[in-house]
Amino acid sequence: MSELTATRVRDAATKLGLPHLADNLTDLVTRADTKQMGYLDFLDLVTGEEAGVKDDRRFRNQLRLARLPHQKTVDEFDFTFQPDLDVRKIRDLATLEFIEHQSNIALLGPPGTGKTHLAVSLGVAACQAGYCVYFTSLDHLVTKLRAADAAGRLDNQMRPFLRSALLIIDEVGYRPLDRVDANLVFHLISRRYEKSSTIITSNKAFTEWGTIFTDEVLATAILDRFLHHCDVITINGPSWRLKDRLANLEQPPNDDQQPQA
Ligand code: ADP
Ligand code: MG
């Protein structure tokens, strides 16, 4: 390969925003030589790898912006532990059609049943597909919005919560909200209604939302908008966090562990 031509290709690749080609020209050409590639196959190799590198960078960037607490996937979820959960339904949601339709998801159930895990896994899939995702607990959300409201910067601070194609609001119901906080949540849900998707996880049934949001009328108004286009997944199973502990408790102690008389 002529050094002059290589330099020209590298410069052009940089100008065109193809850093992988610019950085790996020699390696790419050597691989093409070794495999005796035709012109089309070589172009396929170059464009395919460049696109892969771009996708990967965008995915990592979306993950960073999403502020997910971890990056667990649907494949890491043991569905045999929750036999009442419809695995096909979850796999269906993981195709992200619900985001295309600006529709919502509610994941309900007691602690440790995998609500956050599933919500996060849908968030990871959405990041991979290039969607803008944002994860927050309800507590963090209202703390931020309340401070912004007090500082007269509500619209500004609301932006990340409005901009995302998928907003995940975790842990609704762990702590009741006062009327001001409940109003801020209503404001947010109303503005996202039919524009973008929201996933909510909660340990409380919808009938208890009047207590969470202090005010039945406000809770009904939030639910009215949230549930209009929504898949409700209820996980009524055991806690994964307690599974090993419960298994240990069920085992009779062996002789070595017998308390000494
Ligand atoms: P929840 O939000 O319902 O309280 P989490 O999603 O936080 O529960 O789950 C608690 C822990 O147990 C997490 O580490 C999660 O990855 C794990 N976990 C829960 N259910 C399952 C499951 N069915 N398969 C694999 N891991 C699970
Ligand atoms: Mg949780």
62 and 89 co-located in one domain:
no
229 and 130 co-located in one domain:
yes
Q: Which domain holds residue 211?
A: 76-243
H or E element, residue 161: helix 154-163
Torsion angle, alpha carbons of 145, 150, 151, 153, to 10: 40
CA distance 104 to 196: 8
CA distance 82 to 236: 8
29 and 112 co-located in one domain:
no
Phi (first) and psi of residue 232, to 5 degrees:
-105, 120
Q: For residues 133 and 96, is the Cβ–Cβ distance under 8 A?
A: no
Residues around the ion ligand 2 (C-beta < 5 A): 116
CA-proximal residue: ligand 1, atom 10 (nearest): 112
DSSP-H helix ranges across the chain: 3-15, 19-34, 39-66, 87-93, 97-100, 115-128, 138-150, 154-163, 179-192, 209-212, 216-228, 243-250
Ligand 2 centroid vs 178 CA: distance in angstroms?
A: 22
Map tokens 């012109």 to a residue: 39
72 close to ligand 1 (CB < 6 Angstrom): yes
Domains held by the chain: number: 2
pLDDT recorded at residue 258 = 47
Ligand 1 centroid vs 243 CA: distance in angstroms?
A: 11
85 and 205 co-located in one domain:
yes
26 and 46 co-located in one domain:
yes
142 and 175 co-located in one domain:
yes
- Atom number of ligand 1 nearest to Cα 118: 6
Close Cβ partners of 259 (under 8 Å, ≥ 6 residues apart): none
- Atom number of ligand 1 nearest to Cα 114: 6
Ligand 2 centroid vs 67 CA: distance in angstroms?
A: 15
Ligand 2 centroid vs 50 CA: distance in angstroms?
A: 38
Residue 258 placed within a domain: no
Close Cβ partners of 114 (under 8 Å, ≥ 6 residues apart): 77, 81, 82, 235, 240
Q: What is the pLDDT along the chain (261 residues), one digit of tens a residue?
A: 689 999 999 999 999 999 999 999 999 999 999 999 999 999 999 999 999 999 999 999 999 999 999 999 999 999 999 999 999 999 999 999 999 999 999 999 999 999 999 999 999 999 999 999 999 999 999 999 999 999 999 888 888 899 999 999 999 999 899 999 999 999 999 999 999 999 999 999 999 999 999 889 999 999 999 999 999 999 999 999 898 776 666 665 555 544 443
Ligand 2 centroid vs 180 CA: distance in angstroms?
A: 24
pLDDT recorded at residue 160 = 85
CA-proximal residue: ligand 1, atom 7 (nearest): 116
81 close to ligand 1 (CB < 6 Angstrom): yes
Q: For residues 104 and 231, is the Cβ–Cβ distance under 8 A?
A: yes
H or E element, residue 15: helix 3-15
111 close to ligand 1 (CB < 6 Angstrom): yes
225 and 161 co-located in one domain:
yes
pLDDT recorded at residue 244 = 76
Q: For residues 172 and 204, is the Cβ–Cβ distance under 8 A?
A: yes
Residue 257 placed within a domain: no
Tally of CB atoms within 10 A around 101: 11
